[in-house]
Chain A
Amino acid sequence: MISSARLRRWLLLALLWGVALLFLVPLLWMLSSSLKPTWQIFETPPRWLPNPPRWENYSEALTTLPFGRYLSNTTVITLLTIVGHLLSCTLVAYAFARLRAPGRDTLFVVMLATLMLPYPVTMTPLYVIFHRLGWINTFLPLTVPAFLGSPFYIFLLRQFFLTIPRDFEDAARIDGANTLQILAWVLVPMVAPALATVTLFTFQASWNDFLAPLIYLQRPDLYTVTLGLQFFRSTYTTNWAYLMAASLTTMLPVIAVFFAAQRYFLAGISLAGIKG
């Protein structure tokens, strides 16, 4: 009996690891291609180990276009978006979770409804509005909206606030703290895991965003990494080694952050998913 249960477990794990390997193949192939000299790129059958690995592909690919510039642009936009989401979503989520006011529940339903509103629906009029404001070719259309909240993260944080007992706030209130002080000193430390989730989701979405930068940033010196990579791809179509090196470089921050903080990604997934 025991041995057949063991066997079953081993078979299952073998199957699951086989699938995992399948998921990893694109990344490994990418790494391998990024280190190949040009003549090995189109070799058939393809070799997995570049011989000798050509590390210069990275420095050459990343200096052909100003990738340093793209990386710093993306970093600025991403950081501002994160700060914006953390500030605005915390305040709004706290209000929805804790404070009573006429119209609150209706507004909450409105917020959930906007959650279903896809970006492409409003992108044309938004462009017209930002154009009027003179915001085209600035980072403002990509960062200012973050300071005005995002329905999904407000929802996520509200769910988290609701799991915290009121006792802590009541105690602080008796000690004479006001709402903002309570929020900053008592509640924010307690919802830190949820804030970490918001930070990571925002980081990932902002770093990978393509459509919005494509619309608003037309000057090459303002390009984000996704725009830079797309420009690179359309200009140097055949240099796959360089393309793989540049692609892997833009993916690396996301991969590193994901491995360092995966439990917050997964926590966010179940927090959003369980409530359905």
Chain B
Amino acid sequence: MQHPHPGRARRREAVTFYLLISPWLVGLLTFTLIPIAVSLGISFTRWDMLSPPELVGLRNYARLLDDRLFWQSLTVTARYTLMYVPTELVGGLLLALLMNQVDARGIRLLRTLYYMPSVLSGVAFVVVWMWLFHPEAGLINAGLAQLGVQGPRWLADPHTALTALWMMSLWGLGRTAVIYLAGLRGIPRELYEAAAMDGAGAWRSFVGLTLPLLTPTIFFNLVLSVIATFQTFTSAFVATNGGPLDATLFLVLYLYRKAFQEFQMGYASALAWVLFALILAFTLLVVRSGRWWVYYEGETP
């Protein structure tokens, strides 16, 4: 573009840029930066939102260390993450690999059916599974009974409740599979043909070709699913309300209780900061480790 006054044109462009992004800047300030600062401030106080806040220093954080329920919620969240993330990553990949064996026409409807449950998140999603898990009349235990097996009490038993929530979440596996499938379809056919010519079998070309080229997608899914599991709330709130015996007391559920049922705003803010620190630490760890195992075609990460 030619312009009589290049300096002025550039300045005008910059002004337009800031005008156009101003809604986001306002949002960043009011709904992200200020809340973060406010939250840090509140975390040093004792405050029930009725009487004025009382400064207590680091006492909220010290209290966390002695709070059995806090440790319980941390354990539950970690256990669930360790159950869910690997099964989601591997299960989704297996499903995608199977789909990738069939031509596009054959899987069009299948892909739709796999993906559909993952758009149905929310309370209704959980309510269906509560009914499926019903100890006497639920479909799962009725099916087990036909095989002569007495099914567990699932959501009502502290030993199986978390497993039940995990099974429930696998209904959303299709989303991961579809992301993988997009990644698989992005690998050029010629590479496989070249590998086959070099005498590589199916397994060799999977390990030597598919897996490395898929690492950016695996990375994406890993970050996404860990951040999601750290935030698990609806399923635990609706299906079990943290129980039985705190077996499904997730971190965010505990945070919700402290903030909005007991109105311990200071303590809840300290909890939120711990959650924040955990997610941040994890993300940094994964991004760092990514340098070792994520392969980017032609560009540096």
* Residue ranges of A at the interface with B (Cβ–Cβ < 8 Å): 9, 12-13, 15-17, 19-20, 23-27, 29-30, 33, 41-46, 88, 91-92, 94-96, 99-102, 104, 107, 110-111, 114, 116-129, 131, 145, 147-149, 154, 170, 173, 179, 204, 207-211, 214-215, 226, 229-230, 233, 240, 243-244, 247-248, 250-251, 254-255, 258-259, 262, 265-266, 269-270, 273-274, 276
Contact B171 A118 (CB under 8 A): no
| Nearest 6 A/B pairs, CB to CB | A148-B27, A208-B122, A276-B216, A101-B14, A149-B24, A101-B17
Bound Cα distance from A128 to B260, whole angstroms:
11
Chain B residues with Cβ under 8 A from A262's Cβ? 112, 115
The residue that A44 contacts in the complex, of B129, B137, B179, with Cβ under 8 A, is B137
* A118 with B231: CB separation less than 8 A: yes
Set A99, A101, A117, A214: member contacting B32, Cβ < 8 A: A117
Q: What are the residues of chain B within 8 A of A145 when measuring CB–CB?
A: 27, 31
* Contact, CB under 8 Å: A255 / B120: yes
Could you tell me the distance between the alpha carbons of A116 and B276 in the complex, rounded to whole angstroms?
Answer: 10
Query: Is A120 within 8 A of B124, CB to CB?
Result: no
Restricting to B1-25, which residues have a CB under 8 Å from any CB of A? 1, 10, 13-14, 16-18, 20-21, 23-24
Give the distance in Å from the alpha carbon of A149 to the alpha carbon of B29 in the complex: 12
A65 shortest CB reach to chain B, Å: 13
Shortest distance from the beta carbon of B42 to any chain A beta carbon, whole Å: 7
Residue of B17, B123, B275 with most partner-chain A CB within 10 A: B123
Which residues of the other chain, A, contact B171 by a CB distance below 8 angstroms?
Answer: 23, 26
Nearest chain A residue, comparing its CB with the CB of B134: A240
Tell me whether A247 and B283 are in contact (CB under 8 A). Answer: no
**Are B20 and A99 closer than 8 Å at their CB atoms?**
yes
Contact of B110 among A16, A211, A259, A273 (CB under 8 A): A16
Distance in Å: Cβ of A224 to nearest Cβ of chain B: 10
Partner of A240 from the list B1, B131, B237, B275 (CB cut-off 8 Å) is: B131
Q: Provide the bound-state CA to CA distance between A165 and B295, in Å.
A: 28
Is the CB–CB distance between B36 and A122 below 8 Å? yes
Partner of A20, one of B24, B110, B186, B234: B110
Cross-interface CB contact of A9 among B10, B102, B182, B265, cutoff 8 Å? B102
Kindly supply a per-residue 1/0 record for chain B positions 220-249, scoring 1 wherever the CB is within 8 Å of any chain A CB and 0 otherwise: 110000010011011001100000000000
Nearest CB of B to A184, in Å:
13
Query: Are B23 and A91 in contact (CB-based, < 8 A)?
Result: yes
Q: Does B161 contact A (CB under 8 A)?
A: no
In angstroms, Cα B21 to Cα A154, docked, is 10
Bound-complex Cα distance A262 to B112 (A): 7
Contact A41 B137 (CB under 8 A): yes
A273/B183 contact (C-beta < 8 A), A92-B23, A120-B233 known: yes
Closest Cβ of chain B to A261, distance in Å, is 11
B127 with A243: CB separation less than 8 A:
yes
B102 touches A210 (CB 8 A): no
Q: Which of A26, A120, A124, A265 contacts B129 (CB 8 A)?
A: A26
Q: Are B17 and A104 in contact (CB under 8 A)?
A: yes
In contact, B123 and A13 (Cβ under 8 angstroms)? no
Chain A residue nearest to B238 in the complex (CB): A230
State in angstroms the CA–CA spacing of A248 and B125 once bound together. 9
Q: Which of the candidate stretches B66-74, B79-87, B139-147, B190-198 sits at the interface with the other chain? A: B139-147
Question: B102 to A270, Cβ gap below 8 A?
Answer: no
Cα A102 to Cα B17 in complex, Å, equals 10
Known A110-B28, A269-B182: A101·B23 in contact at CB below 8 Å? no
B186 touches A274 (CB 8 A): yes
> CB-CB < 8 A to A45: which residues of B?
142, 145-146
Whether B179 pairs with A273 at a CB distance below 8 angstroms is: yes
Q: Using A99-B20, A118-B231 as known contacts, say yes or no to A247 and B13 having CB atoms under 8 A apart.
A: no
- On chain A, the residues within 8 Å of B265 by CB distance are 124, 128
The reply to whether B182 and A274 contact each other, CB–CB distance below 8 Å, is yes
Q: Are A226 and B122 in contact, CB atoms less than 8 angstroms apart? A: yes
- A120 close to B139 (CB less than 8 A): no
